[in-house]
Structure 1
Amino acid sequence: MRHWLALIILFYTFLNFLIGRQIYGLLKVNKFVFWPVFIILAASPMLGRFGVKALGLIGNFWIVFFYYAAFVAVLGLIVKHKPVIIGCYVIIFLAILYGYGHAKDIQIAHYDLKLPRVAQELHIVMLADIHLDQDKDKGYVAKMVRQINALNPDLVFLVGDIFDDRDVNLLYQEKETFKQIKSQYGVYGVLGNHEYYTGHLDEILKIFKEANIRILRDEVTETAGLYIVGREDASRRQRKPLTDLLKGVDRAKPIILLDHQPVALNEAEQAGVNLQLSGHTHRGQFFPNQLITHRIYEDDYGYLSKGGLQVIVSSGYGTWGPPVRIGTQSEIVDIKINR
Structure 2
Amino acid sequence: MKVFLQSIVAQLILTPFICWRGYQAIPPKKSWRIPYLLFFLLELLVFFTGFFFHSLLPDRVFITIMLVCNTWYIASVYITLAILALELIRFTHRRWPWFPAWVTKKWRSVKTACFVIITVGVTLLMIHAYRRVMFPTVTHVDIHLDKPIAGRDSLTIVMMSDLHIGEVIGKKQVQRFVAMSNRQQPDMVVLVGDIMDYESRFAEKARIEEDLRQLRAPLGTFVVYGNHEYRANRHAKTQWLQKTGATLLVDSVVMPDSAFYLIGRDDYINKERKPLRALTKELDHTKPIILLDHQPWSLAESAMNGVDLGLHGHTHYGQIWPYPLLMKAVYENPYGYSRKGNTQFYVSSGIGIAGPPYRVGTVSEMVVLHLTWDR
Q: Is the 1:44–1:62 contact (alpha carbons within 8 Å) kept by the matching residues of 2?
A: no
Determine the C-alpha separation between the residues in 2 that align with 1:273 and 1:48: 49
Q: Which deviations, in whole Å up to 9, do the C-alpha atoms of 1:21-47 show, x marking residues without a partner?
A: 223443522787455324235557856
- Counterpart of 1:22? 21
- 1:257 matched to 2:296? The reply is no
Residues in 2 aligned to 1:32 and 1:107: alpha-carbon distance in whole angstroms: 39
TM-superposed CA distance for 1:187, in Å, is 0.7
Q: What's the CA shift string for 1:145-201, capped at 9, x where partnerless?
A: 11111111111100011111424252461111111111111111111112222x112
1:10–1:205 distance in 2 versus 1, CA, 3 Å:
closer
Partner of 1:272: 306
Deviations 1:94-133 (A, max 9, x none): 1001211232222211112122333232111101111111
**Structure 2 residue 375 is the aligned partner of structure 1 residue 309:** no
Where does residue 281 of structure 2 map in the other structure? 247
* Match in the other structure for 2:172: 139
Is residue 128–residue 162 contact of structure 1 (8 Å, CA) maintained in 2?
A: yes
Match of 1:93 in 2: 123
The TM-score, its normalising length taken from structure 1, stands at: 0.88
SS at match of 1:253: coil
Structure 2 gap segments, 5+ residues each: 27-31, 91-106
Residue pair 1:145, 1:177 contacting (<8 A) in 2 also: yes
Partner of 1:3: none
The verdict on how the C-alpha distance between 1:62 and 1:238 changes in structure 2, with shifts beyond 3 A counting, is: farther
Q: CA 1:312–1:45 in structure 2 vs 1: closer, same or farther (change >3 Å)? A: farther
Gaps of 5+ in 1: 1-5
Greater CA deviation, 37-46 or 186-195?
A: 37-46
Q: Deviations over 1:75-98 (max 9, x none)?
A: 566549623344223211110012
Sort the Cα spacing of 1:88 and 1:44 in 2 relative to 1 into closer, same or farther, 3 A: farther
Is contact 2:336-2:347 (8 Å) kept? yes
Per-residue deviation, 1:210: 2.0
User: Residues 316-327 of structure 1 correspond to what in structure 2 (within 5 A)?
Assistant: 316-327=350-361
- Rounded to whole Å, the distance in 1 between the matches of 2:66 and 2:7 is 20
Higher mean displacement: 78-87 or 161-170:
78-87
Deviates more, 1:132-141 or 1:224-233: 132-141
CA RMSD of aligned residues (A): 2.8
Sort the Cα spacing of 1:268 and 1:61 in 2 relative to 1 into closer, same or farther, 3 A. same
- Read off the aligned partner of 1:57 and give its amino acid letter: L
1:53 and 2:63 correspond: yes
Q: 1:247 to 1:103 in 2, by over 3 A?
A: same
Residues 247-281 of structure 1: CA deviation (Å, up to 9, x unaligned): 31121211111111111111111111110111112
**Structure 1 residues 48 and 293: CA distance shift in structure 2, 3 A:** farther
Higher gyration radius (CA): 2
- Counterpart CA distance in 1 for 2:237 and 2:8 is 32
Taking structure 2 as the reference length, the TM-score comes to 0.80
Q: Is 1:227 paired with 2:261? A: yes
Aligned partners of 1:217 and 1:232 also within 8 Å: yes
* Inter-partner Cα distance in structure 1 for 2:119 and 2:327: 26
Structure 2 counterpart of 1:21, which letter? W
Detail structure 1 runs of 4+ shifted over 6 Å in the superposition: none
Quick one: which of 184, 191, 194 aligns to 2:225? Answer: 191
> Contact 1:190–1:232 at 8 Å: present in 2 too?
yes
1:71 is displaced (CA, Å) by: 2.1
Matches within 5 A, 1:4-153: 13-25=12-24, 26=26, 27-29=32-34, 33-40=38-45, 43=48, 46=51, 52-75=62-85, 79=90, 82=111, 83-117=113-147, 118-119=149-150, 120=152, 121-136=154-169, 138-153=171-186
Q: Decide whether the 8 Å contact of 1:68 with 1:92 is kept in 2.
A: yes
For residue 184 of structure 2, what is the amino acid of its counterpart?
Answer: L
Number of residue pairs aligned between Structure 1 and Structure 2: 334
Give the Cα separation in 1 of the matches to 2:227 and 2:285: 30
